[in-house]
Chain A
Amino acid sequence: MPDGATGQGIGASVLRKEDKRFLNGEGRYVADIARPRMLDAAIVRSPVAHAKNLKVAKPAGAEKRVFTAEDMAADGVQPIHVVSKFPGHKPSDYPHLATDKLRFVGEAVAVCLADTRAGAEDLAAQTEVSFEALPPVVDMLEAADNPPARVHDDWDDNVILDSRFEENVDGLDAAAVSVTRTFRMNRQAVNPLEGAAVLAEWDAREDRLVVYSASQIPHILKNALCECLGLRQNQAHVIAPDVGGGFGYKCVLLPEEIYIPWIAMQVKRPVRWIQDRREHLVAAANAREHHYSVTLHADTDGNFIGVEADIVIDSGAYSVYPHSNILESTMAGRTLHGPYRFSAYKVRSRAVATNKPPIVPYRGVARPGICFAMELAVDAMARELGREPYDLRMQNLVPGEAMPYKTITGGEFDSGDYPEALRRAGALIDLPAMRDRQKQGEADGRLIGVGFGCYIEMTALQTSAAARAGLAAIPGYEQAHVRLTPDGGLEIGVGVQNHGQGMETTLAQVACERFGIDIDMVAVRHGDTATSPYSTGTYASRSMVMAGGAIARTCDVLGEHIRRMGAHLLQCDFDDTGIENACVVGPSGSVTFAEIARVWHRNPEELPVDVDPAGVEVTSGFRPTPDNSPFSYATHACVVAVDPELGQVEILDYVISEDCGTIVNPMIVDGQIIGGALQGVGTALFEESRYDEAGQPLSSTFADYTMPGSTHLPNLRLDHLVTPSPLTEYGVKGLGEGGAIPPPAAIANAVNDALRAYGVEVRETPITPRRVLEKICPVK
């Protein structure tokens, strides 16, 4: 295959094609689209966490502008149903609008329309909601073991799914040293800067529903619309235009994405709903709430033997489509082992229902939580054994020679050198120098600590693994359309959706690598179900592996057609041709793609008689064979300074040694890692969606919910290992989520290292000053 000679192929830090419109304020997000006679919607939301006998009184005179679940049911709208194959998974359909019961503060109850959002909010304020309050289920541990109420009346408890992952349990008895800890990661919100947004109308000319949504999964949304609204698939068209960040919040169906389009069909006008920040912080406080009780077992030499754990995950009131509410709990149970070797495993993982918003798979999904639990347990074990945490890790990480490595729970790491990433991170952070610095003390009285966080990340979840895991949403082959345009350029359609990852550039780079074509001659289109191939969308760090692989394969098929025509034009044998620099090259000459395109499109009389009628517009697909997942991994290391008087934590240095296989665009890879890392810092130190005992959210504005900002993470130092995956085109692996996974672990370990003299450990995120001080100087 050809080598990209244009400097725009694999490995080039090509500047982004998509930048221009954003720099000029010409991006087109859902809220930027105005349709004639458009109405704005405001949602009446539940003011209580748990109640029954819901009654809605529409404001007098405005009944035609207010919609409830009753109205939807009368019109035959179907519920959305999410089922996994896990035995014992109790279903909890997520109502579009609340029916008899209210199950979390912020749950949508009624929709009000007006010419302006302000007018719709006026109507919402006049809509009376009455109910009988019920005891709220707020704490997940109470919900599991001693609940004040049941979130779902037809269940006998609040456990959505109780799953166990056990292997060689007897082996745990061989352990000579054990440490037990409990850890908690508190609830937070995802907070993309653009919230959710939906604009819908019925297009009479095309006889179909058109829905613009800030979605990562347009085709999946289309499926849900058709199922719920009783439409044929050819009666729906979903467009995700520019999307202002998703991070997993937008890869699940929102009720608004069903009821706003339904309402648009009722009123026969375009209807728009733009989520505001308070709505997001209240009704979408839906990520990361985990509790771990972990025991790590080792021999006296520090070799890990096994891990035991009881994991509880607060999964909120309902199951989201398509991933369901057990994605996170089963992932946690199955992969708590992380990058370490274990021979015994006994993990119970329960997804629990509470009166809080339904859990969504936020960047990293279960992995920030399991990394936090495991990495803090490792440090605790190191302290128990009197060992350097770095050394204990080095001793127990799966070594490069063991690849491919079968994990204790039946997964398979494809490639990688985990100890090397740790070694490099240790060198970059200069562990010996940090130990010296700690001995000297700081002039300002602050305490210095060093911490590590190692993780592995299965990327691009594949068909067999998803099916084996009993998951509700199963990805398949990924396709790409590639078309040679009359001027010799390429138009590429992909089913994944770009919302910041630079795919309009990086996916084009794959074509540039295959053909040596100039990147300006390549356009990548996405986000529109009418023009893109079916795809489960952008999530699970899959896009470069899958869509990149699909483009590579499709270019191969198209390339063959082009070569045949080229060979004919060059009057030589097909086998004597190759493709270089967007030309077909033969033994005694070459012909450009532009020339071949001219022949196909304008002068077919010059074509070979046996030319493939499918011509220059090709669809093909990709999936790894066998369909295993490539695994990315990294070690993060950080140095913190803890102010023992105020409890504040400052990050002084942060390094990452990571491996995501072959790097397509180094600039963009770094951007993904750094962005993810700051989100991880947010989880570690700042972000928390707090609730009171009545289940009332206390963090409803950015005054109460602190987002990580420009001063919280100094310039990172990044180091890259490249172990190409044997499974993928060019050896790429996914990487979009990785940066967000280990910061809570690395930072907590650094804080605990700083606090060693006190003999205390922080075990909860976010590590707020209050929590630090409560450890350092507990109230007598």
Chain B
Amino acid sequence: MSQLGQHPSDRLIGELIASRRAASAEEIAQIVERMATAPFSSRVVRVPMKERGAAYQGQILTARAPSLVYHLVKRVVIEEQWARGTTAARYLADLAQAVRNPAARLVIYERRGQRVAATITPTGRVIPATRLGIDALPELLVVYSADSSMIVTGYQFSRLDQTGVPGEALWLK
């Protein structure tokens, strides 16, 4: 298990996962606020082979890419969940709006030794149809790592059981 991030919400997420106690409304609001204001991962990540060469808005994926660039190209060009024209800023704003949306559900769990918080929001509550890609899906997942204090992914899906959210995850709302 890696170390938790420095933000108070990171320690709260870690404590809730460890104790599995019920979270108060204030604690839930604190986690949501942290997720909505957290930066996207600033790490450089490896790009899977078949996704190398994909290009968007002047950026071409090679063997390594900044995580935000990788996710933007993946979501717009490779998976076509967001429409062409979506910028990194717009993608991030969509994820933040999804986290803050009153309809968002909030869940915390461990994944690959990291403690994460995730929200699930109906896509239509956040993204207008004109900005959706041709392979848009009805739910929008945003994942925050309490170990790195950063948003680590955001994508659309149709079936929760395929997202990797484990059965023992703790649903806070």
Partners in one complex: no
